[in-house]
């Protein structure tokens, strides 16, 4: 704070401001001398917490605080500075009226005591000989403020001079053309109507002309003008360069026939494009048409495309999701020989309506478990979606088909909780010494597909379609009971297990048809050497009749056992030589045919999460925090964190990028820097010419 306040024994005026709110009360004292205004002292207080005091009472307390502070300052300065006038200012008309008149009896003792104290200080100041000791009028007098504005800024040329000095700073600091227009329009206002906050169209047009004029003076030079001779640039009556084309006799409006010229890739051109585009977010051609109604910007299309590409609102509706990589190779559990139902896929379908009584109906759900190798299916009915019902389905499956090595399913809460329960049971089995070691070693590997990626579970999704078609064609409109539905589901299971896995040839010499049910046979383990028993070489002619019959029966049994062992091997040979090779006919390397973005997912990128159940404007936004790679090193899944700090998993083709790549941003910066260097070379000279020749800034008002 400056130490010097006023000359000694000089004449000065003391001004005190007092204000209050529910947060605090404060007062400050200023000393106004001939050449300066300085702050002398300030003081504040907090309002009481234990009582509910109204704002007028708080204003009265602040005024009392200001009177005390003023009296204290006068007592200290009276010996060195002559105080000619004391002014106490407050914006509370209620508190001022309390001081001017006699308060009513129902205002309370607080108001009466404060008014008495204020009047006492006022009386002492008046006795001391101070002229107009207090001013009991509100400080913000609108009429006075209006008269001062008219007196100080009545000449429009003076306003334009202020604009000329500040326009360069304003044009560089604002973020949109409309904001700069509004600021300049308020400076260029002729009719100082304080009660009106609206800006007229004339003022907006004047502000636009001033911006373009300053832009042309600071950015254009003879070298640039020489390269723009083909645009036929000429000055109008306001000294603004316009493009005069061949549309003089057209029905276009005058601003479109001779638009104002704005240099490409400049700050003003960018602001104009952003302002026109944010009014409805039109397309590139529509935005260009709107701009050319008033301005002519060379190479406009590339600049508009760049602005639209960076527009977040347009990105949300126009950007494409990441392109999903090509399908990986089939996993080993899908193409290597194993026992039936060693590797399975599991899912629910439904709900299915059943009749409980003659008048009431209920719902249940179907459960499908399919073998990934043999394509066998197992169907069952779950009474509900609870974990208990799901565990009962698994127990029935384990009892009929054995315990699988791996289970693949989606991320249903029922399945995830079921895995947790099975893990707890397996942990209890390990701790029980009475259970056999073989059962303890049977562990199930549970695999989950990516959420909202049903193509990863196509091994069972396609069979669910076949089951539903058979179920709907069988039941039609009938509502079965639980027993009838269970019977129909088992019959459908038997029917689908006999479907052919290969193309059925219509010729008479067709190969043996391969069905999934052909693999569902016991695997025989022969404990004795059949070859040695068959190859004894005994001649039946030299044996008695009884021994000859017994030996023939023995050989028939051995041949039957060998045949039963050869049949599964024949099925597996057909499966390996024909079925696996035929899978190439239906192989799809891409997921879907929709277009995808050329960008690649990166950690930290802002994305939009696709949701087919919601309109696009309601899709959630998130940020990628983790990218999960598969065994072949390809990214197919990402972990996204939401604004609620919840993390979700999504396939990358359901994520829409919202941020630009670095190369596009760098390209835009390079373009801007190239034009900025040309502008910078003549910026100082143009600015000085603008300040020395104000007649060049003529604006018709």
Q: Which of 89, 113, 139 is the last residue of a domain?
A: 139
CATH of the domain at 349: 3.30.420.10
Q: Which of 265, 288, 318 is the last residue of a domain?
A: 318
Q: Comparing 6-15, 156-165, 364-373, which segment has the lowest mean pLDDT?
A: 156-165
Mean pLDDT along residues 525-548: 48
Higher-confidence residue: 152 or 405? Answer: 405
Compute and round to an integer the Cα radius of gyration of the chain.
45
C-alpha 273: how far from chain center: 25
Counting beta carbons within 10 angstroms of the beta carbon of residue 635, is it exposed (0 to 12), middle (13 to 18) or buried (19 or more)?
A: middle
- Domain membership of residue 601 (yes or no) is no
Q: Comparing 95-104, 198-207, 496-505, 601-610, which segment has the lowest mean pLDDT?
A: 198-207
Of 462, 409, 449, 463, nearest to 328 by C-alpha is: 449
Residue 550's pLDDT is what?
59
Whether 285 shows a pLDDT value over 80: the answer reads yes
- Domain membership of residue 693 (yes or no) is no
Query: For 67-83, how does the pLDDT look when each residue is reduced to its tens digit (9 = 90+)?
Result: 999 888 888 887 777 78
Higher-confidence residue: 35 or 309? Answer: 309
pLDDT band at 379 (very low <50, low <70, confident <90, very high): very high
Of 115, 78, 110, 80, nearest to 95 by C-alpha is: 115
Contact call for residues 415 and 409 (beta carbons, < 8 A): yes
What is the rounded distance in angstroms from the CA atom of residue 537 to the CA atom of residue 681? Answer: 111
- Domain membership of residue 640 (yes or no) is yes
Whether 485 shows a pLDDT value over 50: the answer reads yes
Residues 184 and 312 in one domain: yes
Residue 17 is given by DSSP the state E
C-alpha 411: how far from chain center: 24
Of 74, 59, 93, nearest to 133 by C-alpha is: 74
For strand 82-90 and strand 11-20, is the pairing parallel, antiparallel, or unpaired? parallel
Residues 180 and 296 in one domain: yes
Residues 399 and 442 in one domain: yes
Query: For 416-435, how does the pLDDT look when each residue is reduced to its tens digit (9 = 90+)?
Result: 776 676 666 655 544 555 44
As a three-state string, the secondary structure of 328-392 is CCCCHHHHCCCCCCCEEEEEEEEEEEEECCCCCEEEEEEEEEEECCCCCEEEEEECCCCHHHHHH
Looking up tokens 């910078």, which residue turns up?
680
Residues 528 and 454 in one domain: no
Contact call for residues 701 and 238 (beta carbons, < 8 A): no
Contact call for residues 489 and 474 (beta carbons, < 8 A): no
Contact call for residues 393 and 367 (beta carbons, < 8 A): yes
**Cis geometry, peptide bond prior to residue 351 (ω within 30 degrees of 0):** yes
Lookup: tokens for 646 = 């919840």
- Domain membership of residue 697 (yes or no) is no
What is the rounded distance in angstroms from the CA atom of residue 329 to the CA atom of residue 101? Answer: 94
Q: Name the strands in the sheet holding 647-651, side by side, starting at the edge strand that comes first in the sequence.
A: 647-651, 635-641, 621-629, 606-609, 655-657
Residue 318's pLDDT is what?
81
Of 314, 315, 283, 288, nearest to 301 by C-alpha is: 288
Residues 129 and 211 in one domain: no
- Beta carbons within 10 angstroms of residue 140's beta carbon: 9
What is the rounded distance in angstroms from the CA atom of residue 490 to the CA atom of residue 17? Answer: 91
- Domain membership of residue 465 (yes or no) is yes
Cβ within 8 Å of residue 199, ≥6 positions away: 182, 185, 186
- Domain membership of residue 664 (yes or no) is no
Residues 434 and 559 in one domain: no
Cα-based distances in Å from 586 to 169, 254, 323, 581:
66, 64, 21, 10
Residues 348 and 486 in one domain: yes
Residues 351 and 469 in one domain: yes
Mean pLDDT along residues 333-350: 86
What is the rounded distance in angstroms from the CA atom of residue 555 to the CA atom of residue 543? Answer: 15
For strand 295-296 and strand 260-261, is the pairing parallel, antiparallel, or unpaired? parallel
Contact call for residues 260 and 670 (beta carbons, < 8 A): no
**Neighbour-count burial for 560-599, b at 16+ CB within 10 Å, e otherwise:** eeeeeeeebeebbebbeeebeeeeeeeeeeebeeeeebeb
Mean pLDDT along residues 599-606: 86
C-alpha 90: how far from chain center: 49
Lookup: tokens for 120 = 């006492």
Of 215, 173, 220, 226, nearest to 681 by C-alpha is: 220
Whether 3 shows a pLDDT value over 70: the answer reads no
Residues 392 and 267 in one domain: no
Of 349, 465, 363, nearest to 412 by C-alpha is: 349
Residues 615 and 579 in one domain: no
What range does the domain containing 80 cover? Answer: 11-139
Q: Which of 81, 115, 139 is the last residue of a domain?
A: 139
- Domain membership of residue 326 (yes or no) is no
What is the rounded distance in angstroms from the CA atom of residue 166 to the CA atom of residue 153? Answer: 16
pTM of the model: 0.53
- Beta carbons within 10 angstroms of residue 312's beta carbon: 11
**Based on the structure, what is the number of domains in the chain?**
5
Of 322, 311, 316, 324, nearest to 608 by C-alpha is: 316
Query: For 105-117, how does the pLDDT look when each residue is reduced to its tens digit (9 = 90+)?
Result: 777 888 888 888 8
What is the rounded distance in angstroms from the CA atom of residue 500 to the CA atom of residue 515? Answer: 5
Residue 552's pLDDT is what?
57
Most confidently predicted of 515-524, 593-602, 670-679: 593-602
Q: Comparing 258-262, 599-603, 672-676, which segment has the lowest mean pLDDT?
A: 672-676
Residue 443 is given by DSSP the state -
Residues 178 and 299 in one domain: yes
Whether 610 shows a pLDDT value over 50: the answer reads yes
Lookup: tokens for 52 = 């509910």
Angle between helix 177-187 and 267-277 (nearest 10):
100
- Domain membership of residue 471 (yes or no) is yes
Strand partners, 381: 366
Residues 450 and 565 in one domain: no
């Amino acid at each position: 704070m400056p130490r010097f306040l006023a000359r000694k024994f000089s004449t000065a005026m003391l001004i005190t401001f007092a204000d209050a709110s529910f947060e605090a009360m404060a007062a400050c004292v200023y000393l106004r001398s001939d050449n300066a205004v300085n702050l002398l002292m300030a003081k504040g207080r907090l309002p009481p917490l234990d009582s509910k005091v109204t704002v007028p009472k708080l204003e009265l307390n602040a005024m009392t605080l200001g009177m005390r502070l003023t009296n204290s300052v006068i007592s200290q300065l009276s010996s060195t500075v002559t105080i000619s006038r004391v002014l106490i200012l407050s914006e509370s008309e209620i508190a001022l009226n309390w001081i001017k008149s006699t308060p009513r009896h129902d205002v309370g003792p607080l108001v009466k005591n404060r008014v008495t104290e204020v009047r006492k200080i006022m009386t002492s100041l008046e006795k001391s000989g101070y002229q107009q000791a207090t001013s009991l009028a509100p400080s913000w007098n609108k009429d006075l403020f209006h008269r001062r504005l008219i007196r100080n800024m009545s000449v429009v040329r003076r306003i334009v001079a202020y604009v000329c000095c500040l326009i360069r700073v304003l044009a560089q600091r604002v973020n949109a053309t409309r904001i700069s227009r509004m600021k300049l329009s308020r400076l260029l206002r002729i009719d100082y109507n304080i009660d009106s906050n609206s800006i007229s169209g004339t003022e907006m047009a004047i502000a636009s002309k001033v911006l373009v004029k300053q832009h042309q003076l600071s950015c254009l030079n003879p070298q640039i003008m020489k390269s723009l001779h083909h645009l036929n640039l000429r000055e109008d009556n306001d000294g603004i360069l316009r493009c005069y084309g061949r549309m003089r006799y057209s029905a276009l409006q005058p601003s479109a026939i001779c638009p104002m010229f704005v240099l490409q890739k400049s700050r003003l051109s960018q602001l104009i494009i952003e302002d026109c585009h944010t009014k409805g977010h039109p397309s590139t051609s529509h935005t260009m048409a709107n701009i050319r109604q008033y301005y002519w910007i060379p190479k406009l299309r590339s600049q508009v495309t760049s602005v639209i590409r960076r527009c977040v609102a347009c990105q949300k509706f126009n950007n494409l999701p990441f392109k999903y990589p090509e399908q990986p190779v089939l996993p080993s559990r899908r193409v290597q020989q194993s026992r039936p139902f060693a590797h399975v896929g599991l899912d629910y379908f439904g709900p299915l309506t059943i009749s409980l009584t003659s008048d009431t109906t209920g719902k249940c759900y179907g459960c499908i478990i399919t073998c990934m190798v043999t394509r066998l299916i197992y169907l069952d009915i779950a009474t509900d979606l609870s974990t208990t019902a799901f565990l009962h389905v698994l127990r029935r499956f384990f009892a009929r088909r054995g315990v699988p090595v791996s289970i693949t399913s989606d991320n249903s809460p029922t399945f995830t909780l079921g895995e947790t329960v099975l893990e707890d049971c397996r942990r209890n089995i390990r701790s029980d010494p009475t259970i056999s070691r073989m059962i303890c070693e049977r562990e199930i590997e549970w695999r989950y597909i990516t959420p909202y990626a049903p193509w990863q579970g196509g091994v069972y999704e396609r069979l669910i379609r076949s089951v539903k078609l058979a179920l709907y064609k069988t039941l039609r409109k009938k509502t079965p009971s639980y027993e009838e539905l269970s019977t129909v589901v088992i019959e459908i299971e038997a029917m689908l297990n006999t479907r052919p896995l290969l193309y059925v040839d219509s010729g008479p010499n067709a190969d043996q048809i391969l069905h999934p049910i052909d693999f569902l046979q016991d695997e025989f383990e022969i404990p004795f050497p059949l070859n040695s028993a068959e190859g004894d070489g005994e001649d039946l002619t030299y044996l008695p009749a009884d021994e000859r019959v017994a030996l023939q029966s023995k050989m028939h049994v051995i041949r039957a056992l060998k045949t039963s062992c050869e049949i599964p091997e024949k099925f597996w040979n057909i499966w390996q030589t024909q079925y696996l090779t035929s899978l190439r006919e239906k192989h799809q390397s891409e997921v879907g045919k929709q277009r995808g973005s050329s960008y690649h997912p990166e950690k930290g990128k802002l994305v939009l999460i696709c949701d087919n159940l919601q309109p696009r404007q309601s899709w959630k936004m998130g940020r990628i925090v983790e990218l999960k790679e598969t065994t072949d090193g390809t990214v197919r899944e990402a972990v996204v964190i939401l604004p609620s700090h919840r993390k979700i998993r999504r396939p990358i083709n359901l994520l829409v990028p919202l941020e630009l790549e670095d190369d596009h941003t760098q390209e835009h910066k390079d373009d801007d820097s190239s034009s900025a260097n040309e502008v910078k070379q003549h910026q100082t000279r143009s600015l000085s010419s603008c300040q020395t020749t104000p007649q060049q800034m003529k604006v018709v008002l």
